[in-house]
Structure 1
Amino acid sequence: MNWSLRRATAFAAVASLSLAAPLLGRAAAVPFALVAVAAFPVTDGWLFDVFSTPRDRREERLRTLIGFALAATGVGLLVPVFDLPVGVFVATVLLVGYGDLGRRLVLAVREHRAYSMVGFVVVGALVALAGQTIAAAVLGQPMKFPYWVFLAASGALVAGVLRSVFVARDDPLVLLTVALLLWLFAVLAPFADLTTAASWERVLVALAVTTGFGYVSYALGATSVAGMLTGVLLGLLAVVLGDYGWFVVLIAFFAVGSLTTKFRYDQKLARGVAEENEGARGTGNVLGNSAAALVALLLYAAHAHVPLTATAYQFAYAGAVATALADTLSSEVGGLFDDPRLVTTFERVEPGTDGAVTWQGEIAGLTGAALIAALCVFVFEFSAVGAAVVLAAGFAGMTADSLAGAVLEGDVVGNQGVNFLATLTGGLAGGALALVGTLA
């Protein structure tokens, strides 16, 4: 067993202490607090050799183990203080601890970044599922396997995205982020009716379809490893918390947007307007274009507890996705043509200038928004007026992107921030127009 694999096994063993949480109840954090205290004075010896990372060896302190234990302690304190479900606590700690073991097991066989992250997600999800099952059995709670599968898979994907983004071990950030998001998903999942036997279909189909699309996108070079995991996560949430129609709208953006990015890529590269990494979109790009839609989806799932109607959030989701596709097509097609003009002054500028537009790009963008609007007619049963609202929202968001690019991009915000502001504008426009038009 190599050093990295031995260390990952040791961390997984520490993560297994979370299985005592159902017995300890409100004292779930105690075992990890004791680990942090015990590890603090260790600076050498066999225990140091087992748990230390290269950084720990340089600093002569088990900082990684202490950080992991303190983060688990912090999450454990949420159990008595804010009634965090014990199952969520157990799943969070196990999927992070065992996920890294799964990654190391793959790397011990083959050095492949994508395969290793698949190992992280699969092993982490399986162990998190087992942990939730054990916790429920100890507490005498009913078995809710579809519900647990969703939480385990979504939590493992979130952790996998974070782990693939951060080069160094940063378990405190990963643990805390996964715990909070998993807690949110646990609250929202019952609204998707994931507590019945019939819900197996939705969860399994969601996992199969989103994983399939994720693999295809990565194999075609449309996404990076982190981008693939992010896309699978968003697709899973769209199916489970929304419905299949929500996924169709989202995947239309990913598919058409990716194909357009690859269209005449060499020509765009020569003109200096091509996406980086040969068009493979990473987590930042995926989230920049999808975060606003994700917020609308989460609000839709929680519509019984927040203002406005479920339909308003449905229109907001459609408006955000329409903006994302409109902006992508406008940039990718418009960048192929000469004589772009700055949207604020209409003066001619060089291709690739932030905030520059061409009439060909504007038409392409409107076509993308119209495609999403047409899909919404079929999957959401929007009326012709509803489709017009989605088209208008997409145009508003696309225009906001150009304005933000000309005014803000560069010194104030980056490209991903501009994309988020644009899709947020499209989402707000879609929801507001639906409310004004009494469609929601």
Structure 2
Amino acid sequence: MTEPVRRAGVFAALCTLSLAVPLLGPEIAGVLAAALLLGTFAITDGPLFDLLAYPGDYEDGRLYGLLTFVLAGVALGLLAVGTSMSIAVFVGTVFLVGYGNLVEQAVRLWTDDDVAHVTAFALAATAAGVVGQSGTLAITGSIEAVETALPSILFLAASGALLAALLRDVLLLYDDPIVMISVGLLLWLLAELEPALGAVEIAAALVVTIALGYVSYALETASVAGMLTGVLLGLLTIVLGGYGWFVVLISFFAIGGLATKFRYERKEDLGVAEDNDGARGTGNVLGNAAVGLVAVLGYAASSATLLPGNPDPNLFLFAFAGSVATAMSDTLSSEIGSVFETPRLITTFEPVEPGTDGGVTWQGEIAGIAGAAVVAGISYWLFPEVDVVGAGIVLAAGFVGMTVDSLLGATLEGKLLGNQGVNFLATLSGAIVAALLVLSLAVLG
């Protein structure tokens, strides 16, 4: 057994101590945490130090890695005891980070394949999250309580595992304290939005999103981080919105990914091709889908009457469709329009070089409008709330969002905003336009 695996095993064992909160109470658990914190300062060398130390700890002779890990657990524990964050979510979070890391480190002994590492972590973390939450509920409640909460347990464990895997891919492997805090806060939010699906349906949603995520990676339309981001977004969209919402979202990823590959060699010759052979990473996925995710969360929260003023959930549905229509429209406009050599700057209509921010072509504009029409058509087909007028609203929102993207590209991109910031603001504008048009019709009607 190598040093990273041994260290991961010790950290996983320490994660098991989080059960002291439901078993012994917060006071005794606090004493154990204090003892661990003192130990990080008392152990400065020797075999135990070597076992627990990360590479960066040797410079100062302090177990800073263990210290920050314990402090992250203490912070989540205090939230669990002092707020509405349940103790089961706290234990599940600590378990999934610790045991997911242990299994991943063990798999690293056998293969260097990044997908195998991510898969091992996600599966082990999901299982550990389920065990941690279920064990806590069994201790504090009953087996019946576990059975009742099983859909929520599975949803939270899978969502936390995917976010943890994503953060570990983007950050360093030694940043587990940041991962733990981030996952705990996400699960704190999601725990308030009880899923309407059962455990079997959630498991099916996991299978669907993971399969599609792997296909996107295999087709080189997404990086590992992009794949994880897409799977997490897909799972949240299915569970909190429904399969109809997921179809709208996946239509963007599928068509947008294919558009990226459209005449890719030609784009390389013109210098306008996406990096990494067109594989989209986390930044690109979130830049285009973050607003849609917020709309999904808003829809779930409004449906559960958790938002002040009890806004109509359909506002979030149209905001979601408007943001996706914008992302689709902008992606098709840029990926198809970029292969033509005579773009014009949207602010002055002067000819510019291919790839110039804010440069548009008539071919790209037509492709963008077609992309928005696809999202509008799918929304009309899947959602009873979206009638012919509603489909027109989605189409208009996509066109406006695409235009905003081009205007921001011509004026602010490269100066105040990066490409992902422009994408985010464009999709936000599409969502706002859709919601405002729906509100205006409601007032006029």
SS of 1:438's equivalent in the other structure is: helix
Equivalent of 1:365 in 368, 381, 386: 368
Deviation at 1:132, TM superposition (A): 0.7
Q: Please state how far the C-alpha of 1:80 moved relative to its aligned partner.
A: 2.5
Query: For 1:199-230, what per-residue CA distance to the aligned partner results, in whole angstroms no more than 9, with x for missing partners?
Result: 12320221110011011111111111111111
Whether 1:18 and 2:15 are equivalent positions in the alignment is: no
CA shift for structure 1 position 342: 1.1
Deviation at 1:295, TM superposition (A): 0.3
Equivalent residue, structure 2, for 1:435: 439
247 and 30 in structure 1: CA distance in 2 versus 1, 3 angstrom threshold:
farther
1:129 and 1:149 in contact (8 A); partners too: yes
Query: For 2:9 and 2:415, how far apart are their aligned partners in 1?
Result: 45
Q: Deviations over 1:260-313 (max 9, x none)?
A: 101111110111111110011111111110000000000000002224200010
Contact 1:272 1:352 in 2 (8 A): yes
Mapping for residues 20-419 of structure 1, pairs under 5 Å: 20-27=20-27, 28-141=29-142, 142-143=145-146, 144-188=149-193, 190=194, 192-194=195-197, 199-303=198-302, 304-306=305-307, 307=309, 308-381=311-384, 382-419=386-423
CA distance in 1, matches of 2:347, 2:36: 59
* Structure 1 residue 168, shift from structure 2 partner: 4.5
Q: Which runs of 5+ in 2 are unaligned?
A: none
Task: Name the aligned partner's letter for residue 168 of structure 2.
Answer: R
Q: Mind listing any 5+ residue stretches in structure 1 that lack a counterpart?
A: none
Preserved CA contact (<8 Å) 1:56 1:64: yes
Is the 1:320–1:427 contact (alpha carbons within 8 Å) kept by the matching residues of 2? yes
**Residue 156 of structure 1: how far off its partner (Å):** 0.5
Q: CA deviation at 1:172?
A: 2.2
1:293/1:321 contact within 8 Å kept: yes
The percentage of counterpart residues that share the same residue type is: 53
- CA shift, 1:238, in A, is 0.7
Q: Does structure 2 retain, via aligned residues, the 8 Å contact 1:102–1:122?
A: no
Aligned residue number for residue 7 of structure 2: 7
Q: In the alignment, is the contact (CA less than 8 A) between 1:72 and 1:175 conserved in 2?
A: yes
Q: Look up the match of 1:422.
A: 426
Higher alpha-carbon deviation: 20-29 or 418-427? 20-29
Closer/same/farther in 2, CA of residues 380 and 33 from structure 1, 3 Å limit? farther
Q: Give how far 1:413 is off.
A: 1.6
Q: Matched residues in 2 for 1:103 and 1:20: separation?
A: 25
- Paired with 2:296 and 2:38, the residues of 1 have a C-alpha distance of 42
Q: Give the C-alpha shift of residue 174 in structure 1.
A: 1.0
Kindly tell me: are residues 48 and 257 of structure 1, through their superposed partners in 2, closer, same or farther at Cα, counting changes over 3 Å? same
Q: Do the aligned residues in 2 keep the contact of 1:365 with 1:398 (CA within 8 Å)?
A: yes
Letter in 1 for 2:380: V
What are the superposed Cα offsets for residues 174-204 of structure 1, whole Å, 9 maximum, x if unpaired? 111111101111111x2x335xxxx123202
Per the TM alignment, residue 403 of structure 1 is displaced from its structure 2 partner at its CA by 1.1
Asked if 2 retains the 8 angstrom alpha-carbon contact of 1:285 and 1:416, the reply is: yes
Partner AA of 1:18 in structure 2: S
Superposition CA RMSD, Å: 1.4
Deviation at 1:119, TM superposition (A): 0.8
Query: Contact between 1:273 and 1:351, CA under 8 Å: does it hold in 2?
Result: yes
One-letter amino acid of the structure 1 residue matched with residue 293 of structure 2: L
- Structure-2 separation of matches of 1:375 and 1:336: 27
Residues in 2 aligned to 1:270 and 1:26: alpha-carbon distance in whole angstroms: 63
Q: How far has the Cα of 1:345 moved from its partner? A: 1.6
Which range moves more in the overlay, 140-149 or 245-254?
Answer: 140-149
SS in 2 for 1:437: helix
Q: 2:337 is aligned with what amino acid?
A: G
Distance 2:405 2:199 in 1: 40
Moved more, 320-329 or 339-348: 339-348
Residue 396 of structure 1 and its aligned partner are, at CA, apart by: 0.9
- Does the residue aligned with 1:274 lie in a helix, a strand or coil? coil
Closer, same or farther in 2 for the Cα pair 1:22/1:265, shift >3 Å?
same
Whether contact under 8 Å (1:401, 1:422) holds in the other structure is yes
Q: Aligned partners of 2:158 and 2:40: how far apart in 1?
A: 31
Contact 2:196 2:240 in 1 (8 A): no
Cα distance between partner residues in 2 of 1:271 and 1:422 = 25
CA contact (8 A) 2:154 2:199 kept: no
Shift of 1:30: 4.6
Indicate the SS of the match to 2:328: helix
Matched to 2:9, the amino acid is T
- Between stretches 35-44 and 226-235, larger displacement belongs to 35-44
1:29–1:74 contact (8 Å) kept in structure 2: no
Contact 1:26 1:79 in 2 (8 A): no
Partners of 2:214 and 2:96 in 1: CA distance: 22
Instruction: Tell me which amino acid in the other structure corresponds to 1:314.
Output: L
Q: TM-score, normalised by structure 2?
A: 0.95
One-letter amino acid of the counterpart of residue 167, structure 1: L
Alignment length (residue pairs): 434
**Deviation readout 1:333-388 (Å, 9 max, x if unpaired):** 01001111111121111111111111111111111100000000111121110000
